[in-house]
Chains A and B, each alone.
Chain A
Amino acid sequence: MQLVVHTHLVDSWTVLIVAGELDVVGGPELRQHVMTATQAGASNLVFDLTGVDFIDSFGLGVLVGALKRARMLDGDLRLVIPERRVRRVLEMCDLDRVFVIADTVEIAIEAQPVAWSK
């Protein structure tokens, strides 16, 4: 199944609405969209993963890679994951302590950033 990604702007945030499966096939597709967005100047990103019904370690790797890229550009990456099952996979890998994870795009944008050291 192909990953569907729509990009739009909310204030200074570039929101990528993602639908499909984030695995060894969908993960690289999302990575390509991140490259396109950051090359166009975006550094504050939100991935709306409401339409993602599956994620495995390959998808997690793409999320971590995108966060690193955003921080390298002095921006951030925040995640919208209302789906409990997808969120659980991130929690199992302690990634809920690395990312801001929210139920909606609005909450994700307004949230305090996760503290991290460069």
Chain B
Amino acid sequence: MSEDTFPTGRVELEIPARTEFVSLVRLVVASAAEIGPDMSVDRVEDLRVAVSEATTNAIEAHNESGSNERVGVQCSVSEDEVVVMIHDQGHGFDPGGIEALPSPDSPERLRYESGLGVFLMQALADESEIMSGPTGTDVRLVVYSSKRASTD
């Protein structure tokens, strides 16, 4: 490793499936992301929202399935990107089964008080992957540093 290479840092959290802990996850992930070189304030904000969506979904999945297990969050910060993994042990869902939103001009649009979470997560992260099965869901979110974004 050359001296000017930024070393990868990693932080792991295990939280009870309680909504009060979502803000803690946002705080830790955003603080970790800010350490990364070339990570703009706007991209940290994008990550904060995406992580909030994924963590809220994970907590709700545990509450719906009655699981007492903890929700796991891993965050890795490197020179190129911030990678966040959120793991739950809920019953899973079909990411392909989420309906597209109707046009904002349509009165139908106001039926959608929920269901925006996965859309926002995918729109805000540079990469997002949802792996869901009957024993749980893993969400992987990646936000690129401005250095990587400009060379890609």
Contacts and interface: CB of A to CB of B under 8 A. Distances in A.
Size bracket of the B interface: 20 to 34
A92 B124 contact: yes
B42 to A, nearest CB: 7
Interface string B114-128: 111101100110000
Contacts of A116: 107
Nearest to B30: A54
Interface string A16-27: 000001011100
Contacts of B45: 85
A117 B110 CA distance: 11
A67 B116 contact: no
Contacts of B116: 57, 60-61, 93
A58 B113 CA distance: 8
Interface in A46-68: 54-58, 60-62, 64-65, 67-68
Size bracket of the A interface: 20 to 34
A61 B124 contact: no
Contacts of B48: 54
Contact of B19 (A24, A67, A97): A24
B84 to A, nearest CB: 15
Given A24-B56, A56-B56, A92-B120, A64 B23 contact: no
Interface of A: 1, 21, 23-25, 54-58, 60-62, 64-65, 67-68, 85, 89, 92-95, 97-98, 116-118
